[in-house]
Structure 1
Amino acid sequence: MTVLAFVIGIALMVVGLAVSIALHELGHLWPAKKFGVRVGQYMIGFGPTLWSTRKGETEYGFKAIPLGGYISMAGMYPPSPRDGAALPAGEGRAGRAGGGFFATMVQDARAANDETLEGRDDERVFYRLSVWKRVVIMLGGPIMNFLFAIVLFSILFSAIGIQTATSTVSALSECVPATASAECAPGDPQAPAAAAGLQPGDRIVSADGAPVSTFADLAAVVQASPAQQLTLVVEREGTQETISVTPATVEAAGADGTAQEVGFLGVRPAVEYVRQPIWAGAQAAVENAGAVAGIIWQLPVKVYDTAVSLVTGQERDPDGPLSIVGAGILAGEVAAVDAPILNRVAGFLGLLASLNIALFVFNLIPLLPLDGGHVVVALWDGLKRTWARLFRRPPPKPVDASKLVPVTFVVFIALAVMGGILIIADLVNPVSILS
């Protein structure tokens, strides 16, 4: 593993993460502007601003820490109550300390939100939108990550292909070993494929009338036909030939672990990239989303297990959660591994696609400050309005999500702690593709 290739792999992952974040925020930005919401900022990263430019009413830029991004929409919450709107941040309605730390947080959130409003009757604000428009804006980010993952998986499966053991012969066994997995020994009989005249480079088109395209297809026919003559149609140098061969009988472990007699031909397959149907990318994205969801709902337990392995030095679960640091390390290993460049490109695309699936699923968690939390707030607002219409009551006030800022803070701290544990584990006890 070369250091330069490892660093290049990490750099590519940083760029890939930045693109993924940019697309996520674009998924929020485009519908927000389409629905008339005033957007003050579109930023990739957190911390100090490295570069920015203003186009119209929106400032676009990059910040120093590429671990996220955001857009700043006007009026995420309704304006502060009139009797407390003019008070300084942190003071209550009676002019004294407003009830402690969490009450101060709520008031500060309201004050910051009020700064984005152009008067109490401002129409170009998020909270005034209909429920479905707010849901579209908040789901736009995760959906962009999901669509990006589909594109990456489609390139991986349909443009590059999946490494598959094909029906093309790469090499021949010299003999029939005592078992299907044993090495040749003096006195072992010649392998049926070599005796029948098969050659490296031959592509087996059919076996006993059954078409074959992969080694698995061929093996199924051969293993089911010990000591029975088979007719193989072989393509050799552009022409097809028919070869008769009788598989030898060897013992191998069956699916239940017991020994059974199977047919043995003595060919080794060529491994090639086989392109998959165009829908394979979307199918892989859906399957990966389901697998990640199975991990996400167990995230606290998984992170606890990771912390235990960190303290005890035990091997980590390779299917457990990773931080972006862990993803970067894997990207570095993929770039530096001793393999053809196409293999490394395929590995990187798969890793980046999986990262976007993780971003998609994670942001759907129905807790603020995640996108799923904002969706829940919008749906609750819609439910209240529907209830009022059904019972002919006056329209309720918009749901004030600023009251949930303390919950948001607790969730943020929990996510920060779990993220910190994963980062430390990825530095000290990383998951590796080389182990």
Structure 2
Amino acid sequence: MSAVTVLLYVVGVLIAAVAFVLSIALHEVGHLVPAKLFKVRVRQYMVGFGRTIFSRRRGETEYGLKAVPLGGYVAMVGMYPPAKGEAPSVDSTGLFQQAVTETRSQEDLHSQPGDEDRAFYKLPVYKRLIIMLGGPFMNLVIAVVCIAVLIMGFGREAPTTQISTVNECVIQVEADAEQAQQTRTRCTEADTEAPAHAAGLEPGDRVVSINGQEVGSWEELTTIIREQGNREVPLVYERDGQETTTTITPLLTERPVMDDNGDAVVEGGQYVLQEVGFIGVSPRFDLVPQPVTEVPGAVWDALSNVAGVLWRLPVNVWNTAVSTVTDAPRDPNGPMSVVGVGRISGEVATTDQLNLREKSATLVGLIGSVNMALFAFNLLPLLPLDGGHVAGALWEKLRRSFAKLTGRKDPGPFDPLKLLPLTYVVVGCFLVMTVVLVLADIIEPVRLF
């Protein structure tokens, strides 16, 4: 590996690392800004965990960076409501009760006169929801921006009017989908010469017009060809900057019906066939900028993919662990750690299979995918994630409304510390998952090339 390759790989990894840290920082800004607007006293805004590397106080808030930038937090006064009644003695409590008491005591140490009216738990439920959803919302905004840049700026991979391959002959398509996968690919003397080959078309040619109609997309070209079965029509193509006119006779033959995604329609294990004109060429795919109307659908697709991964997260992590210690292949669409994201970013930076534009598009898409994952992951209704606090606030609103409706005593605010044992279990599971994914990304990494 040359020094230039190593340098490019390091640059790719650094891009991923900086993008990840900035995503975390902006996630925490999403919590910080509404908390400040609602007059909650914010003690700390920190990116990372562990030992503090750098910090500076501005007003009543300490802003800083910690040693392990795998997360962050905004420490607000009054995250936990005071305990009801007199706290039991330490001797009479269990392990988790001692942890609850110590956690509440640590928060009390940071309280100051005047904090009574600036505590987080005293806010109306809707304000607490805005604060807790602000973080995931920032990740969603970043993901949407990345997807918009990807779709409208770089474009989606789509077929162009430039020819990629020219078939020498026309091979009959088997109606049975399973048999069709085993269809021969070599021509025989009994096969009909493909019309494109007979007309002299070559890979790299760009079709300008056919039957007197200019074509601006592969869809327009195929529509015209399909309608001209067994009819001789003029075709203009461009090769090496010069236009040439030839004639071509699309062969009327049975071909599979395609759906909106360009996939062959299969019913009952059989291809749905129709007689259409066919010339025997395939297009070159390139990044084609799309209109803004394509962005919402792309965002929904990305969110659906991430939601599917999260829904199967325990199974996916288990399968990843199995593929790490066995010969089973790793699912390239499964979960990965920040180590895996960094490796992919470095691989994209060093590959010679992509040009600079395609590399930039891939990295933008990677950043968008990471933020979409952060958005969806943080909405899981589990403490200590944002979704856990959101679920707690909604539960508080529900039980208070029910108590008011039935004339019962106000049950008071939701206390996250009552679920501390479950929180420990969730944190433990997340730590195990992180270790599994990091080891997998080191031992059996996902590779793009």
What's the TM-score, normalizing by structure 1? 0.86
Q: 1:120-161: CA deviations, max 9, x gaps?
A: 971111100000000111111111101100000111110111
Q: Comparing 120-129 with 214-223, which one deviates more in the overlay? A: 214-223
2-structure distance, mates of 1:131, 1:301: 35
CA RMSD of aligned residues (A): 3.3
1-structure distance, mates of 2:210, 2:383: 58
2-structure distance, mates of 1:298, 1:307: 14
SS of equivalent to 1:64: strand
The offset of 1:350, in angstroms, is: 0.9
What is the match of residue 413 of structure 1? 428
Q: 1:27 to 1:320 in 2, by over 3 A?
A: same
Q: 1:397 to 1:190 in 2, by over 3 A?
A: closer
Mapped contact 2:157–2:286 kept (Cα < 8 A) = yes
What is the match of residue 34 of structure 2? 31
Mapped contact 1:21–1:69 kept (Cα < 8 A) = yes
1-structure distance, mates of 2:364, 2:19: 9
Q: Comparing 177-186 with 71-80, which one deviates more in the overlay? A: 177-186
2-structure distance, mates of 1:133, 1:392: 25
2-structure distance, mates of 1:114, 1:189: 86
Mapped contact 1:153–1:281 kept (Cα < 8 A) = yes
Q: 1:307-349: CA deviations, max 9, x gaps?
A: 1112213111111111111111111111111121111111111
SS of equivalent to 2:116: coil
Q: 1:361-391: CA deviations, max 9, x gaps?
A: 1101001000000001111111122123223
Say whether 1:385 aligns with 2:389: no
Tell me, which stretches of 5 or more residues in structure 1 are unaligned?
Answer: 85-92
Mapped contact 2:150–2:365 kept (Cα < 8 A) = yes
Mapped contact 1:46–1:63 kept (Cα < 8 A) = yes
What is the match of residue 290 of structure 2? 276
Mapped contact 2:170–2:193 kept (Cα < 8 A) = no
Among 159, 181, 184, the alignment partner of 1:165 is: 159
Q: 1:276 to 1:39 in 2, by over 3 A?
A: same
Mapped contact 1:79–1:113 kept (Cα < 8 A) = no
Q: How does 1:116-131 map to 2 (within 5 A)?
A: 116-118=110-112, 122-131=116-125
What is the match of residue 260 of structure 2? none
The offset of 1:403, in angstroms, is: 1.2
SS of equivalent to 2:64: strand
2-structure distance, mates of 1:182, 1:406: 62
Q: 1:130 to 1:260 in 2, by over 3 A?
A: closer
1-structure distance, mates of 2:432, 2:440: 12
Among 174, 177, 190, the alignment partner of 2:169 is: 177
One-letter amino acid of the counterpart of residue 171, structure 2: T
Tell me, which stretches of 5 or more residues in structure 2 are unaligned?
Answer: 173-183, 258-263
Q: Comparing 198-207 with 57-66, which one deviates more in the overlay? A: 198-207
Mapped contact 1:226–1:248 kept (Cα < 8 A) = yes
What is the match of residue 65 of structure 1? 68
What's the TM-score, normalizing by structure 2? 0.83
Among 320, 324, 336, the alignment partner of 2:334 is: 320
Mapped contact 2:79–2:119 kept (Cα < 8 A) = yes
Instruction: Report the number of matched residues.
Output: 422
What is the match of residue 88 of structure 1? none
The offset of 1:267, in angstroms, is: 4.9
SS of equivalent to 2:29: helix
Among 201, 208, 212, the alignment partner of 1:204 is: 208
One-letter amino acid of the counterpart of residue 288, structure 1: A
Say whether 1:110 aligns with 2:104: yes
2-structure distance, mates of 1:212, 1:424: 51
Percent of paired sites with the same residue = 43
SS of equivalent to 1:227: coil
Q: 1:207 to 1:298 in 2, by over 3 A?
A: farther
One-letter amino acid of the counterpart of residue 142, structure 2: F
Among 77, 82, 85, the alignment partner of 1:79 is: 82
Q: 1:422 to 1:265 in 2, by over 3 A?
A: same
